């Protein structure tokens, strides 16, 4: 296996694949590493779509305003304006790659509307937008000779050289999941596009890969982590007694679905003027309040005013999934509950995906650019990914022009400390369950300082056990994921304890008011 490249990309979602194409087009050799199959990504699970101004009835200022309102005072306005402004051009590039967004019978785009948006601006491919984007990008990657894609390679830690301002990226240690060997990759540029950390919670809409790997690696490399307390809980996942909860896209409410109490009463108008199309943080808290007040295990989602023909055409994936679980969208109310969905904070970057560590970039859900603020506006995530990936592609052209010429000194190979005791494996499974329950119970939709402090104590104990295991046994995927998840959980709690207010997705009973001045929370080694 060739282990020397110009650029390493960790993750194969829309952010990583888009950036890999840009880097290859800049003449660079690129390796994409993904810890499972190449199509396993949060992008592939995205149902809703990508928000961009493409209609004459919409405009950039409306999209900017909606994003700022949803972000509850913490968005960086310049970042919002530039990403929203660049969105239409990046959407055109996706179309040029072969992506066919759903259209109306008259030929125009069938634009959807989701919570917090004042206009219809969501481009979608029925309710399988992420899958369509993933397929189009993977086809384009397959045609690019400068890109090598490695499946089942799990990034462990970033290798750096130098000190202070001279410190920069040199490479990466990565575990071959299939044979257990660790490869040392050399590269002056690493792009973290590993997605978020939804699986740190007991109930999540995310695939199993969403374990915060990139956030944890960046933190261990000394990079600032910002605003990680803002974990978005999607308001509507199909209720199930176990932890397997299926996402019911917000686009359903965009087409008129109504949230109802167990008694059948519509309740969202009591919480917000936009009712069922309020921003996600408000809807999730409203459902949580309704459930706690009544003791109900769920609320209802009602779209029975739409007929089966329309629902099968507009939401084929959701329709089939509900039918499989015994619910008919056209005739039945759906039992729904919130679940952890999107990590709004993350690795601190600028608009080009650059971090404070030279050569380290981050893009997509793993990063915090300032676009989402305290609460992500629906369908802005795919938009951010393509815009920042494009700008990062321009950035690396400049970065490579400044790198010192000549052969770099060799970097140390991985040292396997050895040891494997099957009797100790139970530590991993038990700690995994305890961590996720702790986060769900103590760091959920509604928080208190006392709960956060309890979570901090429990996570610290888990982290000590896991670190001891990490340094005394050979690594494997479960251990690496758990190591990363406990780190991210600790950082979420640390950020939450810094924020002495309620803002956006962070609602805490001790500090119910929002401060006049919005400040970022920051954690770094």
Chain-centroid distance of CA 345 in Å reads: 9
In whole angstroms, how far apart are CA 69 and each of 112, 197, 278, 282?
19, 24, 11, 12
Cα gap 167→318, rounded to integer Å: 48
Q: Environment class of residue 108 by beta-carbon count within 10 Å: exposed (0-12), middle (13-18) or buried (19+)?
A: exposed
The kind and range of the H/E element at 52 are: none
Closest CA to 242 of 118, 154, 325: 325
In whole angstroms, how far apart are CA 337 and each of 204, 240, 260, 308, 327?
11, 9, 12, 23, 15
Q: Which pair of structure tokens corresponds to residue 411?
A: 């970097």
Cβ distance 379 to 48 under 8 Å? Answer: yes
Cα gap 64→112, rounded to integer Å: 17
Q: Which pair of structure tokens corresponds to residue 137?
A: 């990008």
Beta strand 258-260 with 367-368: parallel, antiparallel or unpaired?
unpaired
Cβ-Cβ contacts under 8 Å for 42 (sequence gap 6 or more): 13, 130, 195, 196, 206, 207, 209, 210, 365
Cα gap 456→490, rounded to integer Å: 6
DSSP letter, residue 358: B
- Residue pointed to by tokens 């029925």: 126
Among 28, 121, 170, 280, the one annotated catalytic: 280
Q: How many CB atoms lie within 10 A of CB 509?
A: 12
In whole angstroms, how far apart are CA 58 and each of 111, 115, 118, 122, 340?
11, 16, 9, 11, 31
Cα gap 235→338, rounded to integer Å: 4
Chain-centroid distance of CA 314 in Å reads: 25
- Tell me the CA end-to-end span of the chain in Å, nearest whole number: 34
**Partner residues linked to 346 by β-bridges:** 226
The kind and range of the H/E element at 489 are: helix 477-498
Cβ distance 103 to 55 under 8 Å? Answer: no
Cα gap 464→249, rounded to integer Å: 38
Query: Is 280 designated active site?
Result: yes
Cβ distance 280 to 234 under 8 Å? Answer: yes
DSSP-H helix ranges across 264-306: 280-294
Cα gap 342→200, rounded to integer Å: 11
Cα gap 402→131, rounded to integer Å: 38
List active site positions: 280
């Amino acid at each position: 296996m060739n282990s020397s490249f110009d650029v390493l990309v960790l993750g194969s979602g829309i952010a990583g694949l888009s950036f890999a194409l840009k880097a290859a087009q800049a003449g660079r050799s690129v390796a994409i590493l993904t810890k499972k199959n190449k199509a396993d990504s949060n992008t592939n699970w995205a149902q809703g779509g990508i928000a961009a101004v493409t209609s004459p009835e919409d405009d950039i200022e409306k999209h900017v305003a909606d994003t700022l309102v949803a972000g509850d005072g913490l968005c960086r306005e310049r970042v919002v304006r530039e990403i929203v402004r660049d969105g239409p051009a990046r959407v055109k590039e996706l179309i040029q790659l072969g992506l066919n967004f759903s259209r109306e019978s008259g030929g125009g785009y069938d634009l959807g509307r989701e919570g917090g948006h004042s206009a219809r601006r969501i481009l979608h491919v029925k309710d399988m937008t992420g899958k369509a984007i993933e397929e189009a990008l993977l086809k384009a990657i397959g045609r690019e000779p400068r890109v090598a894609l490695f499946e089942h390679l799990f990034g462990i830690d970033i290798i750096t050289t130098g000190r202070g301002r001279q410190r920069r990226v040199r490479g990466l240690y990565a575990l071959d999941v299939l044979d257990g060997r660790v490869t040392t990759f050399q590269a002056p540029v690493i792009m973290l596009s590993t997605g978020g950390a939804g699986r740190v919670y007991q109930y999540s809409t995310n695939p199993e890969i969403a374990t915060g790997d990139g956030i944890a690696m960046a933190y261990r490399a000394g990079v600032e982590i910002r605003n990680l307390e803002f974990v978005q809980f999607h308001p509507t996942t199909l209720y199930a007694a176990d932890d397997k909860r299926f996402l019911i896209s917000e686009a359903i409410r965009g087409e008129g679905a109504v949230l109802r109490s167990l008694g059948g009463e519509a309740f969202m108008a009591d919480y917000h003027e936009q009712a069922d199309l309020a921003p996600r943080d408000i809807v999730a808290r409203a459902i949580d309040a309704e459930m706690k007040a009544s003791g109900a295990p769920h609320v209802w989602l009602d779209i029975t005013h739409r007929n089966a023909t329309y629902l099968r055409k507009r939401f084929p994936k959701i329709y089939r999934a509900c039918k499989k679980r015994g619910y008919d969208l056209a005739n039945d109310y759906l039992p729904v509950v919130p679940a952890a969905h999107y990590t709004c904070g993350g690795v601190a970057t600028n608009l080009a995906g650059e971090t404070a560590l030279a050569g380290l970039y981050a893009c997509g859900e793993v990063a915090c650019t300032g676009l989402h603020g305290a609460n992500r506006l629906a369908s802005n995530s795919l938009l951010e990914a393509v815009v920042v990936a494009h700008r990062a592609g321009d950035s690396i052209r400049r970065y490579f022009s400044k790198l010192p010429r000549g052969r770099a000194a060799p970097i140390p190979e991985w040292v396997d400390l050895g040891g494997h005791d099957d009797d100790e494996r139970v530590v991993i499974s038990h700690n995994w369950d305890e961590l996720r329950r702790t986060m769900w119970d103590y760091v959920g939709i509604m928080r208190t300082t006392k709960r956060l402090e309890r979570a901090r104590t429990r996570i610290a104990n888990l982290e000590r056990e896991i670190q001891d295991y990490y340094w005394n046994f050979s690594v494997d995927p479960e251990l690496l994921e758990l190591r990363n998840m406990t780190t991210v959980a600790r950082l979420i709690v640390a950020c939450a304890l810094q924020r002495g207010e309620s803002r956006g997705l962070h609602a805490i009973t001790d500090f119910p008011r929002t401060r006049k001045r919005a400040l970022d929370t920051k954690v770094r080694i």
